[in-house]
Amino acid sequence: MQAVAKSMDFVNDLNEILEYCQNNKETVFASNNGQGRFAVMSEETYEELVGKSRIEL
């Protein structure tokens, strides 16, 4: 099941949302006025998804 949070939840509960992403290895989708806008996931989940490591700039 996808986790969806309103954009205001990100403002009020950012640390809780980030902890959820890290602990559950799930993506949280942010919505604004009922429309999907962003996806937040841990770096580990991202790397599993795209199959590569972060590039240092």
Q: Residue 53's pLDDT is what? A: 63
Q: Which CATH class is domain 3-49?
A: alpha beta
Q: Please compute, for residue 50, the number of CA atoms within 13 A of its CA located in the half-sphere on the CB side.
A: 10
Q: What is the pTM of this model?
A: 0.68
pLDDT over threshold 90, residue 23: yes
Q: Residue 57's pLDDT is what? A: 64
pLDDT average, residue stretch 19-35 = 87
pLDDT over threshold 60, residue 1: no
The residue to which tokens 């890290």 are assigned: 22
CB atoms within 10 A of CB 25: 11
